[in-house]
Structure formats: structure tokens, C-alpha cells
């Protein structure tokens, strides 16, 4: 019998009633605070700095950071619920919180020394944005073909190279950077470092002008003889590949949450519109063809949401979730693209103009099939697990 059928797992709900209420409060905050600014931030290609301040004030940037360091001390499932709640209103804002929690904070929580936690967690919880820096010009899906190097120099490491497609790059002041200390060892030479904005030898490049999630900054970074203290190594030297793999697996669940948030918003808006739009003497919601479109959107969205929260509960239970995280991201990103596309079509010509939100949702959804592992890579991961257990 396949091992996935024999697992004992906790109940499907991974949130307490109090945590569920907190997620709904975050959504209400998003409606009131992000909603009025969402379209303008998209046009301006920039995140409103006041929103970042609000995120810190509400402790949304340190959900899993222990209370002793100023965080909420909650679990991974809560991070996923918050990301979904924000993405129902603005996907770009959701990914800012997503990267901070599921990638940067998560990696530090699991791998960093107590000294690093004491120095950086209070900052990440209350006032500084973090960024996860792995991708390069020659290492996208082939994540470990890193050209960035780190050379030992006394009690410091000297970094040279660059990164591409770095989310939160513009706002980030604390960055988790992956570099290779010994290329002869291949991926086993990869090591993780924490660097700070403003250090000599570190520069930020131009902000990318993207199709969607435009308020979220995406930058290129450059390192030229950047000296990093030895105590800023995260985990052990040569352990960076393990940190990257395991952190990205969890990050993919976060992207899944972002995508189901977008899909849910598209369905809700389209359904409301069909009840108001009158053709042939009645609301178009009364036509069976329209009802079937909404039903399929709802069905696919429910399946995607179950996949995302299933992966999250396995992670919380300390059980294997590699396959489930890949399924969650793949299914959720495909569903978001489908829901936004069909929702846009249900609005007809109105869906195609920027005055209505479906156009933005459609653009925002596309990135889900690309970042933190393309759909092709998720399919590879799922297939390997199928073949391994059979």
C-alpha cells in the first residue's frame, strides 16, 4: 500500500478557533487598509511604506518568531492563513509577508545560532524587512548552479557575485544570501549568510517592471568584496543546500496560500457581479451556463485550498511533506490562473479594463506558476515521489 495512505495525521483543521478569528481580523484589516490603496500601488509599481509600518504594528512580519524576541510565537499554519487572508485583497502585499515569514524567519528559526536569533529576530519582528537571496542569472530551476562565491579571510567571509529576482529587495535591510565556499564540492559547498543593507560592497540594482504583483519589489543585487562576519553564517558551512531545499518546500505552501487567496477573491467578485449584471431581462447569475462556471471555480478552489492546508498540517506534525507542498503550489497556482481568467470573462468587457479588479487579479496570478519553483519543477518532484514509493 502506498505510504501516503498509511499516515496518521492530525485533524484537518490546523487552526484553533482563536487563530481562525485572527485570520478573519487580518482579512478585515486588509479590506479596510490595503483595498483602497491596491490599484494605486499597482499603477505606481511601489508598496506604500505606511502599509509596511502597519504590518509590523500588527506583528504580521514575525508570526512564528518566539515571543521572547518580540514575535507572536504562533505556528506555520497561522502564517499560511494570514497570507491567504491578505491575498484575498492584494497579492503583492501578501507576498511581502509571505517571504518574511515562510522563508527568512523560518530559515533563521530552524537553522541559525542563538546569537543570530538574538541579534536579528527582534529587528525582523518589529521594524526590518527580510529577503531570501538564492536565484541568479544561471541558477533558476537549477537552484544550486550558484556563481556567487564566499572566500574565507581571517574571521570573515568575502562574497563576490550577484543575485536576480529578489523579492522584497528594495525594502530589505536583512538578507539571507546563499554562496558557494568551495565550487569543487558542488552543491555541498553552498553556505547561507546573513548580510545587512548598507554594508560596504553591497549594492542594489534596478527594480523590475513586472506584469503582476507590482507593488512587491523585485531587484537584482551585487556583491563586490563584501565582508561578512563569521558569526553571520547560518547553520554550518556547506549546509546551505539543505537550508535552501527545506525552506523552499515550506515557502511553496506559502505561495499556495497566496494563490488560493487570489482565486477566492476572483470567485467572490465574479459571483457578486453576475447577480448585478442584467441581460435579457434578468441577472446573468440565473443562467445555468454562468452558474456552472461559478461552480467549477468553486470546486477547483476548494480542492486547491485543501491541498495547501493539508501540506501545512503535515509540516506542523513534523511529517514528510515534500510531495504535498509541490502539489499544493502546483494546484493552487493553476487554480488561481483559472479562476481569474474565467472571472474576467464573466465580467465581459469590464473584466478587461483596469477600472475593475479582475484584470489585476489575472496579472497577479501568473507568477504563482513561476517563482519558488516553476510548475515543471513541481511536476518533477511529484513524479519522483510517485516512482520512489512504487
Hey, which residues are catalytic here? 372
- CA dist 300 and 290 (Å) reads 16
**Residues whose CB falls within 8 Å of the CB of residue 289, separated by 6 or more in sequence, listed in order:** none
- CA dist 217 and 385 (Å) reads 34
Q: What's the sign of the alpha-carbon dihedral 360, 363, 368, 373?
A: negative
Q: How many CB atoms lie within 10 A of CB 316?
A: 17
With 0-12 CB in 10 A as exposed, 13-18 as middle and 19+ as buried, what is 66? middle
127 sits in the region (left: phi over 0; alpha: psi -120 to 50; else beta) called alpha
The runs of H, that is alpha helices, within 112-239 are 114-126
For Cα atoms 72, 253, 99, give the angle at the middle one, nearest 5 degrees: 55
CB 305 within 8 A of CB 258: no
DSSP letters for 202-264: EEEEEEP--SS-TTS-EEEEEEEEEEEEGGGEESSTT-HHHHHHHHHHHHHHHHHHHHHHHHH
The cell 536569533 sits on which residue?
117
**Residues whose CB falls within 8 Å of the CB of residue 226, separated by 6 or more in sequence, listed in order:** 158, 159, 160, 195, 199, 200, 201, 202
**Residues whose CB falls within 8 Å of the CB of residue 214, separated by 6 or more in sequence, listed in order:** 41, 42, 43, 45, 92
- CA dist 207 and 109 (Å) reads 29
CB 165 within 8 A of CB 218: yes
For Cα atoms 287, 292, 298, give the angle at the middle one, nearest 5 degrees: 130
- CA dist 207 and 215 (Å) reads 11
For residue 258, give the nearest of 374, 33, 48, 89 by alpha carbon: 89
- CA dist 9 and 290 (Å) reads 38
Amino acid at each position: 500500500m502506498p505510504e501516503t495512505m498509511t499516515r496518521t495525521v492530525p485533524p484537518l483543521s490546523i487552526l484553533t478557533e482563536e487563530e481562525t478569528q485572527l485570520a478573519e481580523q487580518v482579512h478585515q484589516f486588509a479590506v479596510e487598509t490595503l483595498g483602497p490603496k491596491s490599484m494605486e500601488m499597482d499603477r505606481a509599481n511601489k508598496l506604500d511604506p505606511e502599509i509596511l509600518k502597519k504590518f509590523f504594528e500588527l506583528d504580521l512580519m514575525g508570526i512564528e518568531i518566539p515571543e521572547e524576541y518580540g514575535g507572536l510565537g504562533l505556528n506555520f499554519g497561522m502564517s499560511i492563513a494570514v497570507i491567504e487572508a491578505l491575498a484575498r485583497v492584494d497579492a503583492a502585499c501578501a507576498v511581502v509577508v509571505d517571504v518574511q515569514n515562510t522563508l527568512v524567519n523560518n530559515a533563521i528559526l530552524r537553522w541559525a545560532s542563538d546569537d543570530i536569533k538574538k541579534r536579528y529576530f527582534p529587528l525582523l519582528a518589529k521594524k526590518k524587512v527580510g529577503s531570501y537571496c538564492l536565484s541568479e542569472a544561471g541558477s533558476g530551476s537549477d537552484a544550486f548552479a550558484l556563481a556567487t562565491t564566499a572566500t574565507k579571510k581571517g574571521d570573515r567571509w568575502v562574497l563576490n557575485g550577484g543575485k536576480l529576482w529578489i523579492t522584497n529587495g528594495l525594502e530589505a535591510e536583512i538578507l539571507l544570501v546563499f554562496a558557494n565556499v568551495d565550487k569543487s564540492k558542488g552543491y555541498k559547498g553552498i553556505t547561507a549568510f546573513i548580510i545587512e543593507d548598507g554594508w560596504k560592497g553591497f549594492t542594489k540594482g534596478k527594480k523590475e517592471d513586472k506584469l503582476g504583483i507590482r507593488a512587491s519589489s523585485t531587484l537584482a543585487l551585487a556583491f563586490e568584496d563584501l565582508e561578512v562576519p563569521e558569526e553571520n553564517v547560518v547553520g554550518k558551512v556547506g549546509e546551505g543546500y539543505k537550508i535552501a531545499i527545506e525552506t523552499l518546500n515550506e515557502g511553496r505552501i506559502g505561495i499556495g496560500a497566496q494563490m488560493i487567496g487570489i482565486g477566492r477573491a476572483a470567485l467572490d467578485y465574479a459571483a457578486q457581479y453576475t447577480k448585478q449584471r442584467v441581460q435579457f431581462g434578468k441577472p446573468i447569475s440565473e443562467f445555468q451556463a454562468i452558474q456552472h462556471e461559478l461552480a467549477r471555480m468553486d470546486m477547483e478552489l476548494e480542492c486547491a485550498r485543501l491541498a495547501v492546508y493539508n501540506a501545512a498540517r503535515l509540516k506542523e506534525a513534523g511529517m514528510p511533506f515534500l510531495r504535498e507542498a509541490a502539489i499544493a503550489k502546483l494546484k493552487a497556482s493553476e487554480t488561481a490562473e483559472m479562476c481569474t481568467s474565467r472571472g474576467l470573462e464573466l465580467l465581459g468587457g469590464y473584466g478587461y479594463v483596469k477600472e475593475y479588479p479582475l484584470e489585476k487579479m489575472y496579472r497577479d496570478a501568473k507568477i504563482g506558476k513561476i517563482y519558488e519553483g516553476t510548475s515543471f519543477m513541481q511536476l518533477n518532484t511529484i513524479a519522483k515521489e510517485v516512482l520512489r514509493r512504487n
